[in-house]
Each structure stands twice: as C-alpha cells, then as structure tokens.
Structure 1
Amino acid sequence: MSTHAAPRRRVTLADLAAKKRAGEPLVMVTAYDHPGAQIAEAAGVDLVLVGDSAAMTVLGYDSTVPITVDEMLVLTRAVRRGLDAPLLVGDLPFGSYEASDALALATAQRFVKEAGVDLVKIERGGTSVARARALVDAGIPVVGHVGLTPQSVAALGGYRAQGRTAEAAIAVIDDAIALQNAGCSLLVVEAVPSPVTAAIVDRVDFPVIGIGAGASADGQVLVFHDLLGIYDGPAARFVKRYAHLRDAAIDGVAAYAREVRSGAYPAPEHGYTMADAEEQRLRELLDRR
C-alpha cells in the first residue's frame, strides 16, 4: 500500500461498535515507535496498542513487569506522532494502577495528556474492575484484558492458556462481564480456548479482541515484532509470521559489513564531488598552511 494514499477518516468507538454489529472483524496491532506507527497507519488497521510487551520486544527486559510509566510514555508519544486514523490504546504498566483508584486515575491522565491516547488498557478482573469503573467515571475510555494477563504471569503459573477447565472458564467469563458492567469500551481476551471466547462474545455487548483466543472474537491483535518476524524470543503457538524481517535485516547488515571490509562501499556514486576549480583551490590553500 502506498504511503501517499489518501488519509482515512479517524476511527471512533462508534465505528468499532458498528463493525461488531455488522460482523466485520476488527484489526489491532501493537506498535512501539514512530516507524512502526506509520506502518500500521499505512496498512489500514483499526486500533494500535502500545503494549507493555515493549518491555521484551524493544527494551530487552525478560518480562513485562519492569517497564516503567516514563518508558511507556516515551514509546507512546512516538507512536502517537505516527498515527492519524487508528485509535491509540496505551497499556498501563504493572504497578501503575493496581493500588488505588487515585493511582490509576493519575497514571491514566498522564497517558491521555502527555501521550494523546484514546483509551488505556488494564489487566485482570478482580480489583481491576473497580479501577476500570473509576477511570470510566472520570471520562477515560478503558480496554479490559482477561485470560492470560502477562503482568500477573507468576500468579498464573507461567505463560500458559487460561480457562481450560469449566470452573476456570467461568471465572474468565465473569471477569469479562464485570469489566463490561464497569463501563469498559473494549476487551482483549488472551490465550483461552475458543469456546470460552465464544461464550464471552455471546454475553457482552462491547467488542472483544482476541489474541490466541480463536476465531469467534470480534477482532484480533498480534504483536508487531511477532507477526513481522523481528523479535527473536520464543513465540506463542497463536503467533503467525507474516514476514521474516529479522532475517532480512541480518542479511542486509552482513552484506554492508562485507562491502565495508572489502572496500566495495562506499563507491564513487555514494559520495559528493567538488568543482575542479574548487578542488584545485583547496589544494593551494592546504599547500600554504
């Protein structure tokens, strides 16, 4: 798709609701910087999530837990500058909202004021339902997140599918319903069996975005670095590689290194010239020194 295509009208929450009613799948992707945002924009996605997965894919942490609010805001501002049409969702990182409604509101307000997000995302049900309600009451749209919630992966026993027993599935479904009742505008459901996702979709009115949650969700989200084959870490079973950019990047840098070492780069066409008279004058000036 050409980067010079006519700009799209900005996506709204009403558009997402209309697409859900019409059965038109929603497309969400993560992005963590300005070039990534421009790619998502040009590709025509509906939503862009600046996820705390940036902790691993961009910043080199071994989980999502260490990333800070300030780090997330730097990345989110960069993405905002590259987006026009898609809705922008900012992920509130671990430790920035759980303790109280006041903390959640203060953090969310920073994401809205300093980074220009359209929505903020928080994880889990439980006490996060109260946090979601407080944010919605303050006029900040919220995306909920149930199933595998990476910020609480230690409590969940690792990166593994959730809701695989009937009782565990009921707990995930109840969290989803509670988040809707709290006023959330959207829900991410991660790494749950397809029947659980279908049960959620049947019981809620807001759009449900799946990641490793089957085809019955109203839309899908994948991590930018996973779907493009940039990230070298382990990939979940639900990841599909649509490109292999890391391999292409390694090949490109290796070819550059070979040419530098062999003297093939830079060639004359990669440099700048002087008029013959100026070059002669330069030699004369140097000779006088």
Structure 2
Amino acid sequence: MSVHPSEGSKVKRVTTHQLQMMKTRGEKIAMLTAYDYSMARIVDEAGIDVILVGDSASNVMAGHETTLPITLDQMIYHASSVVRAISRAFVIVDIPFGSYQGNSSEALKSSIRIMKESGAHGVKVEGGEEIQQSVERIVNAGVPVMGHLGLTPQSIYQFGTYTVRAKEKAEAEKLLRDAKILEESGCFAIVLEKVPADLAKEVSSQINIPTIGIGAGGGTDGQVLVLHDMLGITKDFQPRFLRRYADLANIMNDAVGHFIKDVKSNDFPNEDESY
C-alpha cells in the first residue's frame, strides 16, 4: 500500500518534473548546500528549490583540505539531518569519493543506502562517459541522478589545481559529449562547475535537462553555491564566482564576544533571566 500526501497540503514539494518544467519555461533554479537540521530548515523555509548535501561537508563541517576524506556513513548522517528539516526542497546527496567509482554494483549499493537510510530524493555523481554504466544502473533502480562535469573536486589530485576547466577545444568537446551521455543515461540535471560561460551556455542549449552552474556564468538553468561561503561564514575561500550575501562570521564573532564580556562582568544572567 502506498501513502500519498493529501491534496490539501499547503506545501508543494519540488520534484524532478517541476525542475524540468522550470527549464522549459525559462525559470531559473536556485540551489544551495546544507549539512544539518537547523541550517536546512532556514534554507527550506526561505523557498530554495534544491538542497545539495554536498561532500563539501568534508571542508566546511570537518575542516579537511579536500572532499575526499568524507565517508558514505558520514554523508548519510548529514543527509538524514537535512531531510528531517525540509518540507519543500528537493534534496540531493553527493555520493562520496570511493563509493561509486569502482564498479556499477558498488555505485548502486551506495545509492540505495543513501536513499533508504537518509530519505533523500536523489544522488549526485561526478564524471561523464567513464561512469555511464553506473548512472544507468542507478537510474534503472528508480533513483534520480544528478551529474557533475567541469571541475570535479573528487578528482582534484588528478587535475592538480582548482582552475577553470574545458578552456581548450578538446576538453570542451569532451564536456559537451559527456553532458549528452549523462542525459541519455537518465540524469535529470547536471552541475557545471568552473567552466567558461560560453561553453556552459552552449551545453545548456544542447541538452534538454536542466544545468546548474557554479562558476559557469549566467547561461545555465540555475545556480548553486556552498551555503557557508555565500553567508560569509567561511573567510579563506574567495573565488571569482562567489557572491557573499551576508557577513555572518563577524556577526557571530561579535555575539560571542559580547556573551563572554557579559559573563565575565556578571551581567549575564540578570534577574529577569533567572528563576
């Protein structure tokens, strides 16, 4: 027996179908990362379309230099926290490094664990033609898959740098070919990271599924940023594509400083704050 949300529900969840319709009618898709219940609830209530539980949690939550160290169990933990917070957004989870590259069976097993144990709505994988079989196998099992091309952080040691990708003709042609392969394999959307704006616009026009850009210009069907970066919580990461919408690091630092001052001066708690 299946259980469906009541037709009178006030909140309409975002689905892959709605994201496709947004591309069709030219409405941009807004996507942000989140890794915990409290932040995800704020982001969801603000009306975000897609929440990515990114392996960037390895950087911003755990302090690692790269995304590689985070494990599948840790990603499931973060995803579970996010899913419990949301009522509208579509939640995608990165399959972490080492949990899908080996073979398609491992990729499917990791995807199923994420879906069953976290309650997320889909998964994201990095790569093109080389992971085609894995993508097809995951999609055939009923799991929505988002692709990721351009700068793929899980391959940083292979690239050796975080510079813009696909500036040369051969790599640009491969990226476009990979995008078409991912679409044909069943991906519902593709992230394009740090690629020339003209190339991202061309890819977006040549495939039917939505593209989500990060450092890929304004010609994609949507945009994504890491939440901690756009809120100004992180300070040591300042790429050209990043727009900071707040300066929470300084606001939080000031608040903590005032708390310390009030405690040490015996101003907190006062009579009204005591029982």
Give the TM-score normalised by structure 2: 0.95
Matching of residue 74 in structure 1 with residue 77 in structure 2: yes
TM superposition shift of 1:233: 2.9
Aligned match for 2:24, one of 21, 31, 35: 21
Paired residues of 1:226 and 1:241 also in contact (CA < 8 A) = yes
Asked if 1:184 is matched to 2:187, the reply is yes
User: Displacement of 1:166 after TM fit?
Assistant: 1.6
Matching residue of 1:50: 53
Unaligned runs of 5+ in 1: 1-5, 273-289
Pairing of 1:1-289 with structure 2 (within 5 A) = 7-272=10-275
Q: Please tell me whether the aligned partners of residues 166 and 195 of structure 2 are also in contact (alpha carbons under 8 angstroms).
A: yes
% of aligned pairs identical?
39
Distance 2:120 2:238 in 1: 28
Per-residue CA deviation, residues 95-150 of structure 1 (Å, 9 max, x unaligned), is 00000111001100011000011110000113222211110111111000000000
Point out 4+ residue stretches in structure 1 off by more than 3 angstroms: none
State the secondary structure of the residue aligned to 2:84: helix
Please tell me whether Structure 1 or Structure 2 has the larger radius of gyration of its CA atoms.
1
Q: Is the Cα contact below 8 Å between 2:229 and 2:237 reproduced in 1?
A: no
Q: In structure 2, what is the Cα distance between the partners aligned to 1:142 and 1:82? A: 22
* Residue type of the alignment partner of 2:34: A
SS of 1:139's equivalent in the other structure is coil
Give the aligned length. 267
Q: Give me the CA root mean square deviation.
A: 1.1
Give the distance between the partners of 2:224 and 2:176, measured in 1 at CA.
19
Describe the SS at the equivalent of 1:231: coil
Aligned 8 A contact 1:52 1:91 in 2: yes
